[in-house]
């Protein structure tokens, strides 16, 4: 049983699923991702406002976490993310043979849209493969 912010998002999924699945637009499209994101932000902001009004500060803080994700709060620029990878690669190349690698830096947060496109791949590809040709992964991507 989902409660709290998860329930808000689950209800949104129910509201958006029909129109997105029956539209002529590809399911995973820039338009659908924008609609999803806008709807999630609007609903989560309303939920947060209600929680604050009820003095449910913990619930409001949970809603803030969702909002940070959908609004890309704290997501470094593509250039900053690239610099992290380059710096770590340089550290590895500078290690003498036989020495241990330094601990890898925590991966920087990615923009919401990039996460959506990255996460759809394995699940969709698996279903398409299992369908025996009835489904084509290209039909699900922009």
Residue whose tokens read 């699900």: 140
The pLDDT assigned to 61 comes to 95
Q: Is the pLDDT of residue 100 over 80?
A: yes
The pLDDT assigned to 139 comes to 66
Let me know whether 81 and 68 are in one domain. Answer: no
Share the mean pLDDT of the chain. 86
Let me know whether 104 and 119 are in one domain. Answer: no
Q: What is the pLDDT of residues 23-78, one digit of tens each?
A: 887 777 778 888 999 999 999 999 999 999 999 999 999 999 999 999 998 888 88
Cα–Cα dist 37/9, whole Å:
11
**pLDDT above 70 as % of the chain:** 86
Tokens of 132: 């025996």
| The total number of structural domains that make up the chain | 2
Cα–Cα dist 66/44, whole Å:
7
Let me know whether 60 and 103 are in one domain. Answer: no
pTM of this prediction? 0.70
Let me know whether 66 and 32 are in one domain. Answer: yes
The pLDDT assigned to 32 comes to 86
Let me know whether 43 and 83 are in one domain. Answer: no
In eight-state DSSP terms, residue 105 is P
Residue whose tokens read 């609007």: 42
Cα–Cα dist 28/130, whole Å:
19
Q: What is the mean pLDDT of residues 113-135?
A: 73
**Collapsed DSSP state (helix, strand, coil) of residue 133:** coil
Let me know whether 48 and 114 are in one domain. Answer: yes
Let me know whether 99 and 57 are in one domain. Answer: no
């Amino acid at each position: 049983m989902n409660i709290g912010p998860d329930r808000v998002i689950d209800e949104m999924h129910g509201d958006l699923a029909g129109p997105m699945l029956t539209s002529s637009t590809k399911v995973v499209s820039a338009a659908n991702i924008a609609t999803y994101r806008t709807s999630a932000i609007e609903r989560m902001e309303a939920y947060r406002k209600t929680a604050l009004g009820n003095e449910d500060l913990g619930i409001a803080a949970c809603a803030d976490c969702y909002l940070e994700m959908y609004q890309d709060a704290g997501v470094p620029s593509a250039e900053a993310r690239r610099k992290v990878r380059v710096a770590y690669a340089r550290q590895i190349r500078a290690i003498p043979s036989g020495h241990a690698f330094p601990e890898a830096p925590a991966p920087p947060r990615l923009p919401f849209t990039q996460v959506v496109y990255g996460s759809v791949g394995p699940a969709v590809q698996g279903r398409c493969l299992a369908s025996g040709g009835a489904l084509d992964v290209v039909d699900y991507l922009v």
